[in-house]
Structure 1
Amino acid sequence: MSQRRVYYLLTAVSGFLWTFAFTLLLVFHVRVAELSPVQLVLVGTVMEITCFLGEVPTGVLADARSRTLSVQLGLLLIGLSLLLQGGLPVFGGILAAQVVWGIGYTFTSGAIEAWIADEVGEDQLTHVFLRGERLELGAMILGSVAAGAVGVVDLRLPMLLAGAGYIVLAFVLVALMREPHFTPAAADRRLTFGLMRTTLAAGLRQARERPLVRSFLLVSLLVGLSGEAFDRLWTAHLLPSLPDVLPAAVWFAGLAIVGQLIGLAANYAGERAGLTGNDHPGRLLAVLTLVQVAGAAVFALAGTLWVAVGALWARNAAGALSGPLQSAWLNRGIESSSRATVLSVNSQFDAIGQVVGGPPLGALAGRTSIPVSLLVSAGLLAPAAWIFARLERRADAALSAP
């Protein structure tokens, strides 16, 4: 099987398992574990601290030793974390599961994108990432259906079954994933601290010297500052507005399915219309960022259920189109030898933002209200639109220079 197809298999199956596990996760946190708004944000903060501490070491290991091994270990740990969380639904157990999940996530973060970028070539990245996103969204629809069906029986079951599925996927990828176009820094398989320092230094040098990388680091910081509170509190904000005619599991699964269909349509329409063909899509990313900001703000302020839900769908659809474009653009701008390290540093800035922004916004929700916290989080993302627009202007100036 070609590595491109293995990548599509990985994105589709992991998309299904991710949605199967996480569609009802916050409902589980509120209804089963009975976490408060502050505890909801603290759960995310513990996870992000773990990601912050683990991102660079795991990225360096992926560049120095093996990106495929890094992905497989990460999926195994994610599976174990879900089994722990579903099996021990109390605040302490959930915090422990976040640590395991965070370590697992950092093994996959950057390693997947770096692996496939080497295997398919940079000129194919935008198409591969967009198609992978469509396959992932399609699989996520099935995952939401499965979560709704199983979650009605017990809100813990989706996590337990998805955890087992991640472990199986990890072992399947041991047989299928290859990296023939990757030359590890530890070519002789002796991984030393000196070699790790050299790989890390090369990645940090790119982060310092390349304006594109520096700009993406700042965007990731803003996304983290904005995203943690929204991701943890939107469910608690929406729950009181849902009619009692259906169980909460069915409501949230249904909302997720429609949102994923909208995201899938936006992804497909954007590529068909040629909007995604630009190697420097700064203006498009700026517009998509503003859509996310407006969607989050309307969601926070909406006085009716369906206005809020429509705003949420618009925000998430813009993110579904923006994500692959950002990944392709950043991957084209960094060297292969330290690609996973640079991508991990980028993810680390997101984690810093979430750790710094999450607790204050959670406390703000407790002192004032959840809508106030959501509105502030939307405003924190707005400067990212200006950064993307500035990158586009720099690219245009470089092309027009003699």
Structure 2
Amino acid sequence: MVDCLVSSSLVISFVRWTWLRAFLHNGWWLVASLYMVVDAGLSAAQIVLIGAVQGIFALLGEVPAGVLADTFSRKWSLVLSQVLMGTAMVATGLVTSFPLLLATQVLWGLSWTFASGADIAWITDELDQPELISAVLSRTARAQLTGAATGLVALGALAWATRRDVAIVVGGSAMLVLALYVVLRFTERRFTPARTARWSTSWTIFRSGVALVRQSPEIRRIFLATFLINGAADAGGRLAPKQLLDLGLPVSWDPIVWLTGIGILALIVGAVVLRVVEKRLDGEHASHSYRVAAIVGAVGMAVLAFAPDSVSASAALVIVSGIAVPLTRIIAVIWVNARTTSAVRATTHSFLAQAEYLGEVTCGLAIALIATLVSLPVALAGSAALFVLTAAVMRRPTTPAVEPRTR
């Protein structure tokens, strides 16, 4: 009974924290993305370049951050992430020049590296119930979507009622306060940090993580799919607000209101879809579900590229953001989590995040070049092509997860 109560408390704390972080992060990003276009006046190339440079720094920091989490502490890695994230978010609302915005977004990208592997590793090992973890991660993904929807409404309304920079600073300040929630609510009873020879232990953990990936063709396949689809989704998502503005949003609506509505609808669709297909997110169904989501994303991105008006383009963006992105992301997390071991869990998830960032950098720079040299619609069509390529990568049947070996 006590163990059940502890497990329930762990899951509730983790889901609530995920909801709150998504509330602040997504609401902040909605306002910040419009702030960069309208208030800072950044071009399409500059917007995507920010994502690419951010990805380069995150790419370099991701694995060291994951190794440190596996060596020292998952909990305190999450606290550090919150502090850096909140600082970057506050700073974004205080500047408008391209170089300074680039610097704030680089810091924001680095902040995620301390959480991207540590959060899943923390809940998996603290819960210590492998048969439940996929359901917990699916529930967490839904909480992330509903929290994001609420954040879009709250911070979007705040930006509309006051100013965009005010909403950005408020969101960042709240993210700093959220670090206290992790300090007070997260335990770390099942993780033993290295007491001696920590740097030597870190190197051993890194090598074990590399060996695990080398031994698993299934992990390498999801890494490749993640590289492609994250590059397509990130570049397309950054360009979407500009595409909508170019197509002409309804004059009676403030852009922040329109984009907030799109974001909320996409998140509601995502939460419903995740609930409906929850039993098809792992095991033998995972590969097929991932492939279908990628095809849906390709169709949505193609429509966004060549839509005749802002309404049809908005509907296409809902399809991409509400179905393709959340489904492929949670399937990738569950896929990798089922094929790693406790000792290198954060490190292996950091490798997955590296695949995401590498996709942002490589594909993002290519799509930015297309947007600059050709046109924005053709660049978005390039994103659609990457979704199609991802679906082709995932055509092979899934090999059931087995307990991996490391050396």
Q: Give the alignment partner of residue 71 of structure 1, picking from 54, 70, 78.
A: 78
Alignment match, 1:179: 188
Deviation at 1:279, TM superposition (A): 5.6
- What amino acid does structure 1 have at the position aligned with 2:142? R
Structure 1 gap segments, 5+ residues each: 397-402
Q: Give the alignment partner of residue 297 of structure 1, picking from 291, 299, 302.
A: 302
Alignment match, 2:105: 98
Alignment match, 2:207: 201
Rate the CA distance shift 1:242–1:69 in 2: closer, same or farther, 3 A.
Answer: same
Deviation at 1:79, TM superposition (A): 0.2
Q: Give the alignment partner of residue 80 of structure 1, picking from 80, 87, 93.
A: 87
- What amino acid does structure 1 have at the position aligned with 2:303? V
Deviation at 1:395, TM superposition (A): 4.3
Deviation at 1:280, TM superposition (A): 5.0
Q: Give the alignment partner of residue 282 of structure 1, picking from 284, 287, 290.
A: 287
SS at match of 2:96: coil
Q: Give the alignment partner of residue 148 of structure 1, picking from 151, 156, 159.
A: 156
Structure 2 gap segments, 5+ residues each: 1-5, 402-407
1:21 correspondence with 2:35: no
1:199-348 correspondence to structure 2 within 5 Å: 199-240=205-246, 241-271=248-278, 274-276=279-281, 278=283, 280-318=285-323, 319-348=325-354
CA contact (8 A) 1:212 1:391 kept: no
TM-score under structure 1 length normalisation: 0.93
CA distance in 2, matches of 1:158, 1:377: 31
Cα deviation 1:277-324 (Å, max 9, x = unaligned): 646511111111111111111111111322222221111222223322
CA distance in 2, matches of 1:225, 1:140: 21
Alignment match, 2:404: none
CA distance in 1, matches of 2:358, 2:30: 25
1:373 correspondence with 2:382: no
CA distance in 1, matches of 2:374, 2:149: 35
Cα deviation 1:119-170 (Å, max 9, x = unaligned): 2332212211111122222221211111221111211122211111111111
- What amino acid does structure 2 have at the position aligned with 1:217? F
Q: Give the alignment partner of residue 139 of structure 1, picking from 136, 147, 153.
A: 147
CA distance in 2, matches of 1:280, 1:207: 22
CA distance in 1, matches of 2:42, 2:359: 23
CA contact (8 A) 1:147 1:253 kept: no
SS at match of 1:23: helix
SS at match of 2:311: helix
Alignment match, 1:157: 166
TM-score under structure 2 length normalisation: 0.92
1:37 correspondence with 2:58: no
Rate the CA distance shift 1:279–1:331 in 2: closer, same or farther, 3 A.
Answer: farther
CA contact (8 A) 2:92 2:101 kept: yes
Cα deviation 1:99-118 (Å, max 9, x = unaligned): 21122110011110111111
- What amino acid does structure 2 have at the position aligned with 1:63? D
Deviation at 1:372, TM superposition (A): 0.3
SS at match of 1:300: helix
CA distance in 2, matches of 1:280, 1:376: 28
CA distance in 2, matches of 1:308, 1:330: 33
- What amino acid does structure 2 have at the position aligned with 1:183? T
Q: Give the alignment partner of residue 360 of structure 1, picking from 366, 387, 391.
A: 366
- 90-99 or 333-342, which deviates more: 90-99
SS at match of 1:382: helix
Number of equivalent positions: 390
CA contact (8 A) 1:280 1:329 kept: no
- 319-328 or 202-211, which deviates more: 319-328
1:122 correspondence with 2:127: no
Q: Give the alignment partner of residue 108 of structure 1, picking from 94, 104, 115.
A: 115
Alignment match, 1:54: 61
Identity of aligned residues (%): 31
- 248-257 or 313-322, which deviates more: 313-322
